[in-house]
Structure formats: C-alpha cells, structure tokens
Amino acid sequence: MGRKCTFDDLEELTFISERTHERFFKKFILYGSTRLYDEWVVLPKTNEEIEWHAREMKLAGFPGAVASTDATHVIILNCRYGIRQVHLGFKLDKTSRTYNLSATHRRWIVSSTGGHPARWNDKTLQLFDDFLLGLQDGTLMNDYEFELLERDSNGEIICLKYKGAWVLVDNGYLDWSVTVPPFTCPLTFADIRFSQWLESMRKDVECTFGILKKRWTILSKGVQAQSIEDADRVWKTCCALHNFLLNVDGYDEMWEGEIPSQPDDDYTCFAIDRLNNPVMGPASQGAPCGSQTFQIPTPINQTAREVRKMDLKDFRMKLVEHFDILFHHHQIVWPTRVKPPRSI
C-alpha cells in the first residue's frame, strides 16, 4: 500500500508466490478495516475526550468545534462496467470512490464514511455520514457544553452557554447548524475575518488527505482491487494506520505551541498575516496576545442553547460575534505542533 508494489514485484523480491501475497493482502485489509479501524478511528464519547479533540479549535476562536470535514476521491482501476457511470465524477477522469472524512487540527481522524460513487456531491455524502447525522439528531456529543461571548443591549460582554458540537465545512454541505461554512458574500469586516480564518482552519482535513495520499501511494495512484468492497477496505485500513502512526510518533498529543495573533511578531503563519491585513478592517486596540488583562466573564446561569436546534444563520452570527470579541482583545492564536524528541 505504501509503494503500490504489484504482487508480481513482491514475488520477485521475496520468492513467495504471487497468489500467496494476494491472499495475505485481502486478509490484511479485512483485518485493518474492521478490528484495526475500530480500535484507532473512534468517536469521542465523554466530555473529556471531546475537549481533548477540540482544544486547538477553541484556542483558534472556534469553541465547540471538534473537527473539520470534507470529501476526497480515490481512483479505482478495476471498476465493473455496470457501475462505471456512477463512479465517473467531475473531479477525475477515471472511475473513483469518494469518502467523507472528519479530522482534528492535529490531523487525527475521528470519523470516515464508507466509499460512495464519485458522482455523489457533498450534500448527498452528508446524509450517509453517521458522525454528522449523530450531531444533527442529538445522539452524539449532545451533552458537551461550551461558552460563546456576545454583547448585550448595553454593550457589555457576557458569556452564554451552548450545548452540542459542530464541525467546520465548506459551502458544499447542507445548511445544518452543526456544519458551519464560511460566508459566501461577507458584508462586514467581522464576517470577512471569520470566514478567512475558518477557511484556514478547515485546511486541516485537506492536509490529512495529502498526508494519507503521500504516505499510502495506493490512494493516489489508484486501487487495483477486483471489487469496490476491497477498495473501501483499503481506505479504512489506511485511515487506521494513519492514526496508529500519529500515536507512535507522539503527534497525537495536544498541540501546546501557539503562534500569537500579533502583526509585529518575528514569525507569523500565512493565516495570521491574512487575519491582520489592513483590508480586513481597522486594527484592534486590545491587550497583547496572552495577556491576562482580558478576563472571560462568568457564564450566565441559563439553560444551554442546543446548537442542533438553532438556525445556521443565527448560530453562525453568534460565532462571528464571539470571534470578533476575541480578535479585538488579541486572544486569537494559531495552534502549532511541538515536535516530540526523537529517540534513537
């Protein structure tokens, strides 16, 4: 899977018959897509596990977000003629399968759908994603609570409680409050800043796709399995091994490093430079990043609002207001990975 060697090449390298390698490969991807996948690609169940996955999103100004979601295509080279048409999508000129994947900021895969025809768009895939459906109907992460800042009628900053979790997506998904996209036509500086920052954070799942396809050449060059079931097993096996290797390398831990959102820093990433661009609005006059002069107000004693029961436009405006308050107090940071020491 890593170098996409054929069974004939393996026979010449190992002096083990081609048929034996083929039988072993089928058993390996069956094991990888079932037991290995169930062990390493697991949805967070407790509030502590959700908080562990959502920490970087909260630092970046998106409390309650647990992952970013998008779909990708994997070429299948031996597609049966009877299902060829539905597996010819608009992105690739070859038959392929599409998978909807959710990943955290540290590239940890929390969920992935099975394979679907490449002609299906993101809206259709969303209806077959058990993770997104669980967020929408309240069967997953509905007890998780987070706080958002907003201004009351007197202009005072208050803190309100919300219930549930949500994910970052692009504008190809359905208008659910648990799938928050950027604005297509932002009208204010706050909307523009929020949208561009969300687009930057949403690249986590795109980076995960790149890592998967660079690490497992079979995903980028095409799966030669004789059935689409085996192609789906290859995808799930690669996802499980991806999380396993993150754990082995020590990259699955919380990212403690932070790049502050100050325009005069010696080192800033592209997203922060874009956030502080003068065309994004007047510069904020708040405390420096990391300063303790801005204290988060105590949450108001109220019944937490359920995210899934809110309208997408209303909930997104609450997120914009929260992000705008943090931005003007220089509390937005870009989480970065602290590389663990390598052992020899």
Cα–Cα distance, 250 to 239 (Å, whole number): 17
Question: How far is CA 227 from each of CA 27, 44, 190, 223, 235, rounded to the nearest angstrom?
Answer: 14, 32, 49, 10, 13
What is the model's pLDDT at position 89?
86
What is the model's pLDDT at position 279?
57
Identify which of 255, 319, 328 has the alpha carbon closest to the alpha carbon of residue 294: 328
Positive or negative, the CA dihedral 301, 307, 311, 312 is: positive
Percent of the chain with pLDDT over 90: 62
pTM, whole model, 2 decimals? 0.87
Higher pLDDT residue, 125 or 5? 125
Please say if the pLDDT value at position 44 is more than 60: yes
Q: Residues 136, 313: contact at Cβ < 8 Å?
A: no
Predicted confidence band at 300 (pLDDT cuts at 50, 70, 90)?
confident
Q: With helix as H, strand as E and coil as C, how does 258-310 read?
A: EEECCCCCCCCCHHHHHHCCHHHCCCCCCCCCCCCCCCCCCCCCCCCEEHHHC
The H-assigned helical ranges of 85-169 are 122-126, 130-137
Task: Tell me the average pLDDT across 156-162.
Answer: 93
For 257-294, how does the pLDDT look when each residue is reduced to its tens digit (9 = 90+)? 555 554 444 445 666 666 666 556 655 554 444 445 67
Task: Tell me the average pLDDT across 133-139.
Answer: 95
Please say if the pLDDT value at position 212 is more than 70: yes
Cα–Cα distance, 204 to 186 (Å, whole number): 23
First-to-last C-alpha distance (Å) of the chain: 26
Pairing of strands 305-306, 179-180: unpaired
What is the model's pLDDT at position 97?
94
Higher pLDDT residue, 293 or 239? 239
| Residues ≥6 apart with Cβ < 8 Å to 122 | 70, 71, 100, 169, 170, 172, 173
C-alpha dihedral, 104 to 107 to 110 to 112, nearest 10°: 120
Cα–Cα distance, 227 to 26 (Å, whole number): 11
What is the model's pLDDT at position 336?
79
Higher pLDDT residue, 196 or 268? 196
C-alpha dihedral, 4 to 76 to 133 to 242, nearest 10°: 0
Higher pLDDT residue, 224 or 101? 101
Predicted confidence band at 104 (pLDDT cuts at 50, 70, 90)?
very high
Distance between alpha carbon 311 and the CA centroid of its chain, in Å? 22
Neighbour count for residue 28 (Cβ, 10 Å): 15
